[in-house]
Amino acid sequence: MDSTLSVKDADGYGMLDAADKHGYKNAYIDYLQKLALDREAAFKPADVVLDFGCGVGRLSSWLAGRCRRVYGIDVEADLLRLAAQYHTGANVLYQAYDGKTIPFAQAYFDAILCVRVLNKRILPGENFDWALGELHRILKAPGVLIAIEHVYGREQSKCYQREELLASFARHGLICTSNYPIRKGHWPVLYLIRLGLISPGFFPLLAQYELGKRRHEREACLDYKDYLFRFEKKD
């Protein structure tokens, strides 16, 4: 199991659930997200890809096996040190940035990945609008941006609603070509996984089952689902 999945940091940016001290739940979610991304087939062998808000680099190193070059950027220096320690690769480069200007030229990337960074906690208000403008600037046309975010069925203080995300991206010339849930936030099976009562050997079957089950569900009023969004920048 990836050793960073049980490493804790102050705000939980470096992993999927900072309270998962054994890392079992994080390992399951990590597997499910990567399976969903593989099925989306958005990242090509010749691509130069940005992992925006890369944290400890768990997805940067995964992308490196699928793409020509991967850049992981984050504002948190401590997380980048963990990334350089645990998730290195010949075609992976980690870089800090100031949270204002993404340090790459216009139309530099073939594809961009954003996982749990396009939310009100990390990018509130004007910061969110700035980020979308920067992501549009550095993405080639045609190009693809894949995002995974929590989506609630009602107004929530830490997350944008699905309609807000779609409208905001559209204003910046990034058109959503698909969006669908991949995981339920409070699925009872997750608690069994977190307690270590389900062997990691069953994670592939559970992830395949959950992806199929969630695909046609909608957001729930009192819970959240992880949604996968695909946005494209046209010619």
Q: What mean pLDDT do residues 197-209 have?
A: 97
CB 183 within 8 A of CB 207: no
pLDDT tens per residue, range 132-191: 999 999 999 999 999 999 999 888 888 999 999 999 999 999 999 999 999 999 999 999
pLDDT bin (cut points 50, 70, 90) of residue 14 is: very low
Q: Give the number of other CB atoms < 10 A from CB of residue 41.
A: 8
End-to-end Cα, the chain, rounded Å: 41
- Check residue 9 and give its pLDDT: 47
3-state secondary structure of 30: helix
Q: What is the pLDDT of residues 52-98, one digit of tens each?
A: 999 989 999 999 999 999 999 999 898 899 899 888 899 999 999 98
How many helices (H) and strands (E) in the chain? 7, 7
Cβ distance 119 to 112 under 8 Å?
no
Write the CATH number of the domain with boundaries 3-233: 3.40.50.150
Q: What is the DSSP letter of 232?
A: E
How much of the chain exceeds pLDDT 70, in percent?
A: 94
Q: What is the pLDDT of residue 179?
A: 96
Angle between helices 24-40 and 203-214 (to 10 degrees): 60
Q: What pLDDT shows up at residue 6? A: 58
